[in-house]
């Protein structure tokens, strides 16, 4: 089981997070895991545990500072009030810096809201060595995706009602134009198909996307 830890953001403020580590390997590669809009709940802790079982030090920064959303209205409110720039440049980057104290390479993976922050991390978090974004991406005005040089993986849902498939294709076009080292995978599923506790869970798509993610991290982090 993992444990709560505290780490420093680049601005010197403290941030808490959930750290799951493989047994007896402080030098293992690291992965920053970014939550959905629900907060640091048991489901996202479980993702960190799965990564730890594969040999990664997985750290989930607590972006909501101890708060959890219990329904969709509360989750939307909390996500809307989140400063995405601060979360990416401070909380996520601080988590990556914390992991890099022991890990030679660090990846970032995020889901839904965390997927958008993962793309922002590919733009702005220089400590990130590979980023895997699941059904989430920022608006175009948040940054120039064509400037990304970190290997980026996208998992996109054809039936996504939270993040527009049309907007995802615009992002793909920008990545291609910028010669970004990226790969994208589309799934015949709805938003948040990986979340086993959600209404759109699709076991087959989740399994395939997870296998692709672990292969991607094995290639770039190990």
- 222 residues of the chain, pLDDT tens digit each: 799 999 999 999 999 999 999 987 778 999 999 999 999 999 999 999 999 999 999 999 999 999 999 999 999 999 999 999 999 999 999 999 999 999 999 999 999 999 999 999 999 999 999 999 999 999 999 999 999 999 999 999 999 999 999 999 999 999 999 999 999 999 999 999 999 999 999 999 999 999 999 999 999 999
- For 181, the enclosing helix (H) or strand (E) is none
What's the confidence (pLDDT) of residue 23?
86
Spell out the alpha helix ranges (H) of 87-164. 93-100, 113-124
Burial (0-12, 13-18, 19+ Cβ within 10 Å), 161: exposed
Helix (H, G, I), strand (E, B) or coil at 18: strand
Alpha carbon distance 142, 138 (integer Å): 6
What's the confidence (pLDDT) of residue 26?
79
Q: How many CB atoms lie within 10 A of CB 45?
A: 18
Domains with residue ranges and CATH for the chain: 3-221 (3.40.50.1820)
Q: Which residues contact 2 (CB under 8 A, 6 or more apart)?
A: 18, 19, 20, 21, 45, 48, 49, 52, 58
Task: Give ∠ CA 121-48-175 in degrees, rounded to 5.
Answer: 30
pTM of the model: 0.97
């Amino acid at each position: 089981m993992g444990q709560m830890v505290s780490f420093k953001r680049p601005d010197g403020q403290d941030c808490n997070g959930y750290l799951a580590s493989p047994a007896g390997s402080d030098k293992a590669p690291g992965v920053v895991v970014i939550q959905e809009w629900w907060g640091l709940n048991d489901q996202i802790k479980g993702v960190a545990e799965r990564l730890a079982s594969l040999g990664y030090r997985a750290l989930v920064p607590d972006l909501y500072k101890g708060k959890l959303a219990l329904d969709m209205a509360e989750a939307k409110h909390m996500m809307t009030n989140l400063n995405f720039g601060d979360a990416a440049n401070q909380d996520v980057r601080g988590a990556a810096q914390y992991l890099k104290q022991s890990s030679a390479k660090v990846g970032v993976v995020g889901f839904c809201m965390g997927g958008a922050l993962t793309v922002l991390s590919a733009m702005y978090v220089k400590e990130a060595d590979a980023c895997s974004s699941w059904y989430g991406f920022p608006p175009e005005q948040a940054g120039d995706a064509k400037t990304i040089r970190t290997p980026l993986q996208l998992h996109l849902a054809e039936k996504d009602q939270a993040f527009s498939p049309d907007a995802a294709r615009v992002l793909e076009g920008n990545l291609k134009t910028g010669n970004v080292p990226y790969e994208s995978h589309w799934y015949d599923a709805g938003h948040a198909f990986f979340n086993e506790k959600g209404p759109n869970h699709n076991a087959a798509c989740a399994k395939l996307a997870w296998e692709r993610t672990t292969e991607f991290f094995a290639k770039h982090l190990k």
